[in-house]
Amino acid sequence: MTIRFSTKLLIAGVLSTTMVLAGCSSSGNEDDPLGSDDHVHIDPLDPASLDADGTAVTAMQAILSWQPAVDESKSDALRRARPWLGGELATTVDNDNDAPTGLRPDREWLAWQRAGDALTASCTKADSTPAAPDGMRTVVIDVSCRQTVLHTAGSSTPLTPQTWRTTITRTDDGWRLTDFRYQ
């Protein structure tokens, strides 16, 4: 029996339509939804959702990102990092408008301020981080940070990377940075 070309075309069309419709239909299983119309905001930098490494990196990026044109000092960046801080460091920020930053004074702050430059920091966990046993509530994490000066003209200047030793403590609300110092 020979099938004519038009019959083959008709069969191919029916099969294609069936496959498309089958692919678009729901599985009928309500426990396995294909999507949701919930409008949930997921913040990857939410302190409650970060692990110890994420807290160290995020907090130090905030602490080392400066806006000399609008910040009075580096303490303003420390106050911006407040969501990731804990212990005495958080208490100091909460109770003192002139909170010490523990950061080395920077000779170029006034030049950056006059030029309207900003500095952004990019940090990662450093290989020098000491190993911590599982289950520790306080860990030491070394963080390697590179600041980049963002000039108003659109260019940028990367600064020399620095390593910071951080102390991260587990709280009821997640991990918090409780201390940091330049290595």
Reported as a single tens digit per residue, the pLDDT across 41-98 is: 445 578 889 999 999 999 999 999 999 999 988 889 999 999 999 999 999 999 875 5
Instruction: Reply yes or no on whether the pLDDT at 133 is more than 60.
Output: yes
Domain around 117 = 47-182
* Tokens 């301020």 belong to residue: 113
Q: Do the domain assignments include residue 80?
A: yes
Q: Do the domain assignments include residue 35?
A: no
Could you tell me the CATH number of the domain that includes residue 178?
Answer: 3.10.450
Q: Do the domain assignments include residue 41?
A: no
Instruction: Reply yes or no on whether the pLDDT at 112 is more than 50.
Output: yes
Q: Give the pLDDT mean for 19-29.
A: 46
The total domain count for the chain is 1
Q: Do the domain assignments include residue 95?
A: yes
Residues in Cβ contact with 165 at an 8 Å cutoff, skipping those fewer than 6 apart: 140, 141, 142, 143, 180, 181, 183
Instruction: Reply yes or no on whether the pLDDT at 165 is more than 80.
Output: yes
Q: Do the domain assignments include residue 150?
A: yes
Q: Do the domain assignments include residue 134?
A: yes
Q: Do the domain assignments include residue 172?
A: yes
Q: Do the domain assignments include residue 27?
A: no
pLDDT at residue 73, rounded to an integer: 86
